[in-house]
Amino acid sequence: MERNSLLDELKNDVHEVLEHVKNVENHFSSETLRTQPAEKKWSVAQVIEHLNIYNRYYLAELENRMNVAPKELFGSAVFTPGWLGNYFTKMMRPGKNGTVGYKMQTPKNYRPVSDLDPVKVINEFVNGENRLLRLLDLAKQVNIGKIRIPISISKLIRMKMGDTFRFLVAHQQRHMVQVENTLKALNELSDKDLKVRQAG
């Protein structure tokens, strides 16, 4: 696939994620965003904080690897995804109908705490996404098929930089579905509570 086309497509996806999060912030109260719809279910703030945890790791790794890339790794306008990158991206990316196919256990270090300030969480996420957009632009100057990034759960496993971008964005898209499902669950709970009060 053509490198710059892929990076532009990923930038469009990031803009959509950003718009989604900003809309949520504008239309729902902090109280709603910190409310868990059920026991052991994440609040919206926790979902976004989970993405912040991933951004803290991957954005630093992407930036560092890009800065130290040897001259011979610059260039190359073509990107060929690796099998591992395809596997992880497919596992994360939601289906066209908004369904999430693969259920998985979140690593302990990537589980968000429950006591969060939604404003601070969202501000960090927005800043992180703007940083990601800048990195996607800078990536047009390097060989994203040769530079490799260690994955967060094992430094021994490395993905191509292009695949790391694909995985990171797909992971965010996956959790935007979770944000929507969480808000729907909270709305349903509110409706039920209202009916109980009216019946009483």
Distance separating alpha carbons of residues 41 and 135, to the nearest angstrom? 32
In this prediction, residue 26 has a pLDDT band, given cuts at 50, 70 and 90, of very high
Contact 160, 85 (CB under 8 A): yes
The residue type at 60: A
Task: Find out whether 50 and 175 touch, Cβ atoms under 8 Å.
Answer: yes
Residue 157 three-state SS: strand
Tell me what pLDDT residue 199 has: 44
Could you list the residue range(s) of the whole structural domain that residue 153 is in? Answer: 3-199
Burial of 111 (0-12, 13-18, 19+ CB in 10 A): middle
Distance of CA 6 to CAs 18, 175, 192, Å? Answer: 18, 21, 45
Number of separate domains in the chain: 1
With tokens 């991206």, the residue in question is: 89
For residue 154, what are the contacts with CB-CB under 8 A and spacing of at least 6? none
Task: Give the span between the Cα atoms of 148 and 29, in whole angstroms.
Answer: 41
Tokens encoding 167: 């995985």
5-23 confidence digits (pLDDT tens) = 999 999 999 999 999 999 9
Say what the pLDDT of residue 190 is.
Answer: 67
pLDDT in tens, 138-170: 999 889 999 999 999 888 899 999 999 999 999
- Which of 58, 59, 28, 57 is CA-nearest to residue 130? 59
The domain that holds 97 is classified in CATH as: 1.20.120.450
Q: What is the pLDDT of residues 52-94, one digit of tens each?
A: 999 999 999 999 998 887 665 666 788 999 999 999 999 898 8
Task: Show the tokens assigned to 140.
Answer: 């047009």
Is 154 within 8 Å of 28 (Cβ atoms)? Answer: no
Q: Where are the alpha helices (DSSP H) in 68-160?
A: 83-92, 118-138
The dihedral formed by the CA atoms of 46, 50, 51 and 53, expressed in degrees to the nearest 10: 130
pLDDT the model gives residue 176: 96
